[in-house]
């Protein structure tokens, strides 16, 4: 069931988050998930003491984000992100080297056009690399005699006497092979 939080930069929004997190460590499930990252991104700073569950959750997620992205951020302005302050908690900032492009960092799992094109190319290469099917089936029949006195030549003749459309018997030394087409 999807949970909706709105205006997490306001006291009312934080009250809803506080109520949802009562008795829980994470927004959904028993481990940090994309839901936690989405909500974390919408909360501008650590909630105050009047929201102990939300503050504990915020610290937990901030620590997880900081451990995965240890670099020091310089700050980012996101126009149209609501009335949330532009500077998020330092633990939530993502490292960016001078020569790196942050396009390869995707916290929410959104697939870009380049990713889709590359996946399509891999799928096409994989499909062409598969060996072509011959349209035949191979069936291995294990025919066992009743006892050690059974004449195996007669048994083989009896089994080979079965005739069906598309059925061809293969050669054998110790076992019979059959092909269905």
Which of 3-38 are b and which e, b meaning 16 or more Cβ less than 10 Å from the residue's Cβ?
A: eebeebeeeebbebbbebbeeeebbbeeebeeebbe
Dist. CA 14–CA 10, nearest whole Å: 6
Check residue 51 and give its pLDDT: 92
At 94 the pLDDT is: 41
- Those residues with Cβ within 8 angstroms of residue 55's Cβ, 6 or more apart along the chain or in another chain: 46, 47, 48, 49
Question: Residue 132 has what pLDDT?
Answer: 58
* Encoded tokens for 93: 């900032």
pLDDT at position 96 is 40
The whole-number pLDDT of residue 88 equals 41
What is the predicted pLDDT for the residue at 115?
77
The alpha carbon of residue 71 and the mean position of all alpha carbons in its chain are separated, in whole angstroms, by: 26
Kindly give the confidence (pLDDT) of every residue in the chain, 181 residues in length, as a single tens digit, with 9 standing for 90 and above: 677 888 888 888 889 888 988 888 888 888 888 888 888 988 888 998 899 999 999 999 988 888 887 777 777 776 655 444 434 444 444 444 444 445 555 566 666 777 778 888 888 777 766 655 566 677 777 777 778 788 878 878 888 888 888 777 777 656 554 555 5
What is the pLDDT, as a whole number, of residue 58? Answer: 92
Confidence at residue 114, expressed as pLDDT on a 0 to 100 scale:
76
pLDDT given for residue 124 in this prediction: 79
* Integer Cα distance of 4 and 17 in angstroms: 9
């Amino acid at each position: 069931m999807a949970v909706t939080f709105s205006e997490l930069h306001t006291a009312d929004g934080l009250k809803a988050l506080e109520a949802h997190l009562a008795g829980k460590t994470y927004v959904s499930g028993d481990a940090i998930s994309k839901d936690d990252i989405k909500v974390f991104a919408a909360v501008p700073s650590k909630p105050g003491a009047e929201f102990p569950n939300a503050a504990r959750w915020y610290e937990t997620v901030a620590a997880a984000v900081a451990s995965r992205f240890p670099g020091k951020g310089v700050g980012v302005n996101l126009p149209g992100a609501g009335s949330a302050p532009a500077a998020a908690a330092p633990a939530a900032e993502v490292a960016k080297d001078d020569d790196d492009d942050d396009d390869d960092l995707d916290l929410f799992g959104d697939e870009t056009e380049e990713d889709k094109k590359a996946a399509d190319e891999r799928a096409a290469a994989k499909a062409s690399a598969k060996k072509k099917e011959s349209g035949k089936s191979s069936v291995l029949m294990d025919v066992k005699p009743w006892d050690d006195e059974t004449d195996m030549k007669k048994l083989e003749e009896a089994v080979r006497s079965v005739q069906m459309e598309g059925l061809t018997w293969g050669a054998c030394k110790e076992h019979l092979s059959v092909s269905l087409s």
